[in-house]
Amino acid sequence: MVTLTKKNVKSWSRIGSRATFGSVLYELAESREELVVLSSDTSTSAGLDRFRKKFPEKFVEVGIAEQNLIGIAAGMASEGMDVVTATFSPFQTLRCCEQIKVNLGYMKHKVCFVGLASGVVLGKLGYTHCSIEDMAVMRAIPNITVLSPADCGETAKAVEAALNHDGPVYIRLTGSAPSPVVYEEDYDFTIGKSVNLLNGSEVSIIATGTMVHRALEAGKQLTESGVSTSVINIHTIKPIDQSAVQNACENARLIVTIEEHSVIGGLGSAVAEVKTEQANAPPQIIMGIRDSYQNSGGYQEILEREGLTKESIVKTVEDWWRKNIE
């Protein structure tokens, strides 16, 4: 069982979510006889080099052939293997979307498929290598569970939970290295159950992935300035924690969702879908990547351009508050 300690939290934070993913699989391999990892030329990028060298019988290098990657994974899963696949997010999801739909969604083969460097962390390579559509596409496919960890510790817990889950799971890894820490201490991670990080009564910020840390910092600043703000980590995009969204709608005057993903089809859309079934739900602001492909750029540069910073979150909430409440 993955347990967070001061030592591993510090170590994982330093190396980032991708290397954490590989490190956790290395630790789990001894106790999981049926574990097998498939890569599309990403053993180094996914932190899997140690795993590949120590457990060559548990590692399959498919090469840059992502559609084959999913087909092979489904076949091995059908024989009772615990299969994990790893490649960069746009290729893991969009390039082999039909294989995911048919072999995993339709046929329900249990595969944990991991999208490396999702969001805009590879922005210098352009939007061919960014992944701002993956949550929207994956959550539209029946039977696919979608996870978006907030930090490296949650990445470790998500990998273990996916391996224990009875069905296909997509894990979306965002951010760079070093990675900010959200969870300093151990906690219970349950697929489909959100985590309340900050209590507040007037504004509720619902975040996922790398945006959780920024949302938490913004929530603390807003509360200190007089706007009582709660922060909720929705690490499971599908199935979303409906009760958490409903409770937030009952208690807050404003819902703000923030994600390193398109404003269409991701966390914001999932929250809005729950809200449509609730009478007198508060207004919602969806913060994310605008619905367009912009110029390439560095990671922080793109986040600032898209308003995905602590300062932008605070300003957005304060502007709305002054206009509608004060």
Predicted confidence (pLDDT) at residue 326 exceeds the cutoff of 80:
no
Rounded Cα gap, residues 160 and 204, in angstroms = 29
> What mean pLDDT do residues 207-213 have?
98
Instruction: Give pLDDT tens digits for 154-164.
Output: 999 999 999 99
Strands (E), the chain: 35-39, 59-61, 82-88, 111-116, 145-147, 169-172, 195-198, 203-207, 229-233, 236-238, 254-262, 284-289
Same fold, 6-172 and 195-324: yes
Per-residue confidence (pLDDT) for residue 307, from 0 to 100: 97
Instruction: Give pLDDT tens digits for 222-281.
Output: 999 999 999 999 999 999 999 999 999 998 999 999 999 999 999 999 999 999 999 999
Count of CB atoms within 10 A of residue 311's CB? 13
CATH number of 6-172: 3.40.50.970
CA distances from 309 to 177, 179, 259, 301, 316 (A): 17, 15, 11, 10, 11
The ranges assigned to domains in the chain are: 6-172, 195-324
Per-residue confidence (pLDDT) for residue 134, from 0 to 100: 98
Question: Nearest CA to 208 among 258, 143, 135?
Answer: 258
195-324 sits in which CATH class? alpha beta
Per-residue confidence (pLDDT) for residue 1, from 0 to 100: 86
Average pLDDT, the chain: 97
Predicted confidence (pLDDT) at residue 288 exceeds the cutoff of 80:
yes
Rounded Cα gap, residues 202 and 86, in angstroms = 41
Per-residue confidence (pLDDT) for residue 114, from 0 to 100: 98
- pTM value is 0.97
Instruction: Give pLDDT tens digits for 79-104.
Output: 999 999 999 999 999 999 999 999 99
What percentage of the chain reaches a pLDDT higher than 70? 100
Give the helix/strand (H/E) hosting 136. Answer: helix 134-139
What percentage of the chain reaches a pLDDT higher than 90? 98
Rounded Cα gap, residues 187 and 177, in angstroms = 23
Give the 3-state secondary structure of residue 91. helix
Instruction: Give pLDDT tens digits for 112-140.
Output: 999 999 999 999 999 999 999 999 999 99
Give the 3-state secondary structure of residue 285. strand
Rounded Cα gap, residues 205 and 216, in angstroms = 8
